[in-house]
Structure 1
Amino acid sequence: MRRWPLVPTLVVAVAVSTMIGLGLWQLLWRAPQKDALVASYAAAQGLSPIAFPTAPAPEPLPLFRRATGLCTEVTGWRQVAGENRRGAIGYAFLADCRTGAEGPGITVDAGWAANPQIKPDWRGGPVSGVISPDRVRRVRLVSESGLGGLEPSAAPSPAMIRNSHRSYAFQWFAFALIAAVIYGLALRARRDKEANR
């Protein structure tokens, strides 16, 4: 009886076990955790409004909750891809604001336009809206009404948070299966080669 090569077999066994473990972790822990987080975001939509956090954002982030804030001065504008309430694709105009207090300030989604070159005529003021994720400041306040001549942006919703962890789990399982099959084929080719000597 021919012996299996010890070191390659151990390496493949460890790799396959690790991939299966990562798949189980995604499936049994990360996916339910993300489901619970999205459910908490959905529940936040029905809560009473809060003051927009101008200090470093607390954990967990108060996403999709109604909030009010005060922009005392617009310090800069940036545009990101966005939609209006009719689902038209264009640009959301984000105003970085001072709040009159120490801290990072506030970012306000002032509204939407099809043309990224327009200059919103808004210098600040009170804002009511919904807290949404932001790549630069972690959270921003999406105004419920268009500001400075802009149309209102689409209201943020927990539906924008995707739970991809189950697909990640199946990817890890597929990688483990592929690695095992490839190693099995390599062992068979090695045995056939030795048998033909």
Structure 2
Amino acid sequence: MIRRLPVIPTLIVLIAVAIMIRLGFWQLDRRHEKEGGLARLAQNVSAAAIDFPADRFDQSNLFRPARLDCRNPGKFSVEGAGKAGYRILATCEGDTRVQLGTTRNPSTKVEWGGGLVTGSIGQVPDSRPMIVTAFDHSPRELMLVSDTPVAGLTANPPRSLAEVPNNHLSYAVQWFLFAGIALVIYLLAVRKRLAARDERG
């Protein structure tokens, strides 16, 4: 059967399978990198409080206690917060965002004039599909998650390292499965084609 395989289609499929396998091993490498990063972030939880960093994309500051003088707050937005319902975010002067608290009612109106906020550093919610985030490794924007909710809101849920997902093992398994499935489907298709040719023949 091997000698009767069509050359060009077989090469294309083998190249595609090789790429998928390479992507699977790449995700395994990313998994080890993420585990090291999570270990470093765990140390931030008990670190001393800092002023909210000027670099809003420096992921090394995640989970670190911080403070921010939020001036001229505006552009209040509502984002999903899982079991907590919805989170209310305010944009401060300089485009830094603060998570003021949570609510069960997405129509909740917040009146807050700003001020000093203390809390811990988190990531701005990302509503993009998982397939997009799997290939986009640019750093997420940071925000300050307030320790004390503003009037009318519920306190933010306790922070957890689970907020920084380490899905690379599942991604790797998916790529390996895609490679195996593609190979099996191609071999079955070729077998059927050769069998049909032999019957005609």
Q: Normalising by structure 1, report the TM-score.
A: 0.84
Cα offset for 1:186?
2.1
Partner in structure 2 of residue 72 of structure 1: 71
- 5+ residue gaps, structure 2: 127-139
Q: Name the CA distance, whole Å, in 1 between partners of 2:156 and 2:188.
A: 55
2:179 is the alignment partner of 1:179: no
Q: Name the CA distance, whole Å, in 2 between partners of 1:47 and 1:34.
A: 20
2:128 is the alignment partner of 1:131: no
Cα offset for 1:58?
4.6
Q: Deviations over 1:103-127 (max 9, x none)?
A: x342111112222333333211111
Partner in structure 2 of residue 163 of structure 1: 166
Amino acid in structure 1 at the alignment position of 2:124: D
Amino acid in structure 2 at the alignment position of 1:109: Q
Q: Taking structure 1 as reference, are residues 121 and 186 closer, same or farther at Cα in structure 2, changes over 3 Å only?
A: closer
Partner in structure 2 of residue 115 of structure 1: 105
Q: Taking structure 1 as reference, are residues 172 and 58 closer, same or farther at Cα in structure 2, changes over 3 Å only?
A: closer
SS at match of 2:172: helix
Partner in structure 2 of residue 89 of structure 1: 84
Amino acid in structure 2 at the alignment position of 1:51: D
Q: Name the CA distance, whole Å, in 2 between partners of 1:63 and 1:143.
A: 14
Q: Name the CA distance, whole Å, in 2 between partners of 1:163 and 1:18.
A: 22
Q: Name the CA distance, whole Å, in 1 between partners of 2:169 and 2:149.
A: 38
Q: Name the CA distance, whole Å, in 1 between partners of 2:109 and 2:167.
A: 37
- 5+ residue gaps, structure 1: 99-103
User: Are the equivalent residues in 2 in contact too, given 1:50–1:66 (CA < 8 A)?
Assistant: yes
Q: Name the CA distance, whole Å, in 2 between partners of 1:76 and 1:195.
A: 70
SS at match of 1:68: strand
Partner in structure 2 of residue 153 of structure 1: 156
User: Are the equivalent residues in 1 in contact too, given 2:59–2:142 (CA < 8 A)?
Assistant: no
Q: Deviations over 1:68-118 (max 9, x none)?
A: 1101221221111236xxxx53222211112xxxxx342111112222333
Of 57-66 and 125-134, the range deviating more from structure 2:
57-66
Amino acid in structure 1 at the alignment position of 2:99: D
Partner in structure 1 of residue 130 of structure 2: none
Amino acid in structure 2 at the alignment position of 1:20: I
Of 131-140 and 167-176, the range deviating more from structure 2:
131-140
Cα offset for 1:47?
1.0
Higher normalized strand content (fraction of residues)? 1
Q: Name the CA distance, whole Å, in 1 between partners of 2:81 and 2:181.
A: 40
Q: Out of 124, 147, 150, which is 1:144 matched to?
A: 147
Partner in structure 2 of residue 41 of structure 1: 41
Q: How many residues align?
A: 186
Q: Normalising by structure 2, report the TM-score.
A: 0.83
User: Are the equivalent residues in 2 in contact too, given 1:82–1:153 (CA < 8 A)?
Assistant: no
Q: Name the CA distance, whole Å, in 1 between partners of 2:36 and 2:157.
A: 24
